[in-house]
Structure 1
Amino acid sequence: MTQRTGVVVIGGGQAGLAAGYHLRRLGLDHVILDAAAAPGGAWQHTWESLRLFSPAQYSSLPGRLMPVQEGQVYPDAAHVVNYLAHYEKRYELPVQRGVWVSAVHRDGTFLRVETENGEWRARTVVSATGTWTRPFLPAVPGRRQFTGRQLHTVQYKSPTDFAGQRVIVVGGGNSGAQIAADLAHAGIHLTWVTQRPPRFLADEIDGRALFDVATARRRALAEGRADSGGVASLGDIVAVPPVRAARDAGLLRARPMFARLTEGGVEWADGTGAAADAVIWCTGFRPALAPFAGLRLRGARGRIATVGTRAVGEPRLHLLGYGDWTGPASATLIGVGRPARDAARAIAEQLRP
């Protein structure tokens, strides 16, 4: 069965909901297709101790402030999931769950969206699929030789899964630092490995300041002024309270990246090694853009070139929530609102008779 609508939004996480909010305000006919069975996006799959970088009031989608979580300055993931579920219900967003989009094709003046539940023909498509389903694992020698357990950030849940084990955490970003701190506080035998020495942001900097920095960079570039470097110029790791505590207690002492994995651990270029029962790869993600492969739009690093949120090679496609290349801080709760608004306005212009 083929259905028609003005806009198909692919993905019902924070970016998809922000898009739905603005499309609804503009009175545009749309549907949000989400592969998950429940609301909450990637937040429903994170590790147990994860906290936001910012207080609730600075972590909100357009239209509704996130309520404060009792007893917490920085809300946990469960609080975010609950907020997203209520947000979706409050604005009566047309989310269809359990719908996996397999492909998007050009079909005359339409884009044809193929799913396991049938097809949609839309005049415009918004891709809000995020990155969580595409974890990146680097090609390190010996990875298949290692006999211990290997997992990515997406599979980590709790230190209790590693009781009595020797664990190596790879990655010098926020996920690597937070998971390393989580394990260290639990007394797990930890080796933290980073590509370069860890760069902690100043303790007073959280998501509020980071959003301001990203916004200032966007404004400077738009006005033709020098690039300040944005958030990346400040550091790589937000010193949220558990990370700060572990760092100050001397529990987060990073070693340089090892040269190879061995059967029972890792080995550095100088011949020294460390035994390990598990390696946790906190090595980032790639954009989940497989449904658009047939459009042949992807370029460097798997990205689709955009102007604002609009795909250069297919103006009926907008991308939202993947990072600065689709809008400053657009992969964050507070940051996705502005590019979602801009995308909805651009789509309204496109759909105007």
Structure 2
Amino acid sequence: MNTGLTQVWLQGPLIVGAGPSGLAVAACLSQRGVPFLILEKENCIASLWRLRSYDSLRLHLPKKHCQLPHMPFPKEYPVYPTKQQFISYLDSYAKHFSIHPMFGYKVKSADYNTVMGVWRVVANGSEYLCRWLVIATGENANPAVPGIDGLTSFGGKMMHSSDYKDGAEFRGRKVLVVGCGNSGMEISLNLCRNGARVSLVVRHKMHILPRDILGRSSFGIAVGLLKLFPLRLVDWFLILSSRLLLGDTRKVGIIRPQDGPLKHKNTTGKTPILDVGSLSKIESGQIKVVGEVQRFTSNGVEFMDGKVEEFDSVILATGYTSNVASWLKEEGLPRQGQSNNTISSWLSNMKGKNGIYSIGITGKGLVGASIDAEGAIEDIARQWNSNRKHTSSKINPYM
């Protein structure tokens, strides 16, 4: 196989991505004595959290549900750790398990060689050959920008939420937030608290739940109830609690889907909003709910209902897409340009064929990433131990 690239044979798995999912996999491998190599395109671990998240971000779920395998959060951390606390936890995690990713290595391509029975991963002029490939890049690799007419003609400040840090610079400005997921809601709240005049685009029906019910997290309560009751009853409880604690969201222009929040998540992949104060600002009129955008103008927006309004700034809280389809050359994988939902569906199972594993791409957040990591490593370690005597003797300088 003469490719003109420097070939590096790996005894163990190659992990692509040094976010929480990649770190979880590496720690589990380390605990099982299986060698590995991590390639990370950025110059740090957890780049999404460190470089592309707003300063006021906190974990949406309690820390006990978000900790990575084999290492809990520090006891002194609050129930919902801050962004910086989570980053510090990940730094400590990497140090504790002696995880040293190769930074600045962007994967150009990865394909399976059926003759040799190995994966060929090309990055930075080298070709890495391995039996197991772990995709841990997550679903949030590239900012998703909506194809709204006139997007480039808007003359004010426009940014994706990945570039938003704090609302102080928007004080006194009229800001439109496009996207009403958890990020859009929380950015709107942060803008409002910093004195901006905020409008929030709400296009679809959605569930808003209180983050906590009687001092306990809604998520934790739901997890406990699902062990005892069917999903439809747990959904009923969550909706009833939401109406009692938050009121009727229809009054502020937010309509709930017909399905309950858990069923809606399972069928559409759309996560319920966990309210941390945004709804009260909407009810008081400090955050204005508006409808779908038809097109941007040089100084504002024309909405689908025909209304025209001027804005100083626009923040696109429109989520992210996976970049896996741009470099994974595997038969049957949706090609770039197809929806991220299609890609996620293809990678929805933790284990694929030919020794490929996808971690943190199932839409289950940090909870799912940890479960997937432990499951994948159990499978890899079993194969590693059974075939250890037959492992290639070629030297890998990185192991």
Specify the TM-score bucket, using the shorter chain as the normaliser. Answer: 0.7 to 0.9
Q: What residue number does 2:254 align with?
A: none
What residue ranges of structure 1 are gaps of 5+ in the alignment? 221-226
Structure 1 pair 18/169, CA: closer, same or farther in 2 (3 Å)? same
Q: Which residue of 209, 215, 238 maps to 2:220?
A: 209
Q: Contact 1:8–1:126 at 8 Å: present in 2 too?
A: yes
Say yes or no: does 1:229 pair with 2:270. no
| Identical-pair percentage | 25
Say yes or no: does 1:43 pair with 2:84. no
Q: What residue number does 1:153 align with?
A: 161
CA RMSD of aligned residues (A): 2.9
Q: 1:118 and 1:211 mapped to 2: Cα distance?
A: 47
Aligned residue runs from structure 1 range 92-107, under 5 A = 92-107=98-113
TM (norm. structure 2) is 0.76
Q: Contact 2:197–2:286 at 8 Å: present in 1 too?
A: no
Say yes or no: does 1:75 pair with 2:81. yes
Q: Contact 1:196–1:256 at 8 Å: present in 2 too?
A: no
Q: 1:341 and 1:291 mapped to 2: Cα distance?
A: 27
Q: Which residue of 2, 6, 12 maps to 2:7?
A: 2
Q: Contact 2:170–2:195 at 8 Å: present in 1 too?
A: no
| Pairwise CA distance, 1:250 | 4.1
Q: Contact 2:120–2:129 at 8 Å: present in 1 too?
A: yes
Q: 2:161 and 2:281 mapped to 1: Cα distance?
A: 19
Q: What amino acid sits opposite 1:184 in the alignment?
A: C
Q: Contact 1:200–1:235 at 8 Å: present in 2 too?
A: no
Structure 1 pair 66/266, CA: closer, same or farther in 2 (3 Å)? same
Q: Secondary structure at the match of 1:32?
A: strand
Aligned residue pairs total: 336
Q: What residue number does 2:293 align with?
A: 258
Q: 2:354 and 2:222 mapped to 1: Cα distance?
A: 28
Aligned residue runs from structure 1 range 244-283, under 5 A = 246-247=281-282, 249-283=284-318
What residue ranges of structure 2 are gaps of 5+ in the alignment? 1-5, 232-259, 388-399
- Superimposed CA distance per residue, residues 20-48 of structure 1 (whole angstroms, 9 cap, x where no aligned partner): 12222222221111122223331102111
| Pairwise CA distance, 1:348 | 3.0
Q: What residue number does 2:275 align with?
A: 239
Q: Secondary structure at the match of 1:259?
A: strand
Structure 1 pair 138/43, CA: closer, same or farther in 2 (3 Å)? same
| Pairwise CA distance, 1:161 | 2.6
- Superimposed CA distance per residue, residues 307-342 of structure 1 (whole angstroms, 9 cap, x where no aligned partner): 63123xx43211110233xxxx2x22x332111111
Aligned residue runs from structure 1 range 119-134, under 5 A = 119-134=127-142
- Superimposed CA distance per residue, residues 114-156 of structure 1 (whole angstroms, 9 cap, x where no aligned partner): 1115221110100111233311112112212222222111111
Q: What residue number does 1:335 align with?
A: 368
Q: Secondary structure at the match of 2:9?
A: strand
Q: 1:309 and 1:215 mapped to 2: Cα distance?
A: 23
Q: 1:93 and 1:124 mapped to 2: Cα distance?
A: 18
Q: 1:279 and 1:296 mapped to 2: Cα distance?
A: 40
- Pick which of 181-190 and 37-46 moved more: 37-46
Q: What residue number does 1:57 align with?
A: 64
Aligned residue runs from structure 1 range 338-349, under 5 A = 338-349=371-382
TM (norm. structure 1) is 0.85
Q: Contact 2:111–2:328 at 8 Å: present in 1 too?
A: no
Q: Secondary structure at the match of 1:83?
A: helix
Q: 2:225 and 2:357 mapped to 1: Cα distance?
A: 21
Q: Secondary structure at the match of 2:89?
A: helix
Q: Which residue of 183, 186, 194 maps to 1:178?
A: 186
Aligned residue runs from structure 1 range 304-319, under 5 A = 305-306=346-347, 308-311=349-352, 314-319=353-358
Q: Secondary structure at the match of 1:177?
A: helix
Q: Contact 1:146–1:263 at 8 Å: present in 2 too?
A: yes
Structure 1 pair 203/53, CA: closer, same or farther in 2 (3 Å)? closer
Q: What residue number does 2:3 align with?
A: none
| Pairwise CA distance, 1:69 | 5.1
Q: 1:165 and 1:124 mapped to 2: Cα distance?
A: 51
Q: What amino acid sits opposite 2:9 in the alignment?
A: R
Q: 2:321 and 2:298 mapped to 1: Cα distance?
A: 28
Q: What residue number does 1:162 align with?
A: 170
Say yes or no: does 1:301 pair with 2:350. no
Q: 2:290 and 2:21 mapped to 1: Cα distance?
A: 36
Structure 1 pair 31/51, CA: closer, same or farther in 2 (3 Å)? same
Q: Which residue of 359, 377, 382 maps to 1:320?
A: 359
Q: What amino acid sits opposite 1:47 in the alignment?
A: Y
Q: Contact 2:112–2:354 at 8 Å: present in 1 too?
A: no
Flag the structure with larger Rg: 2
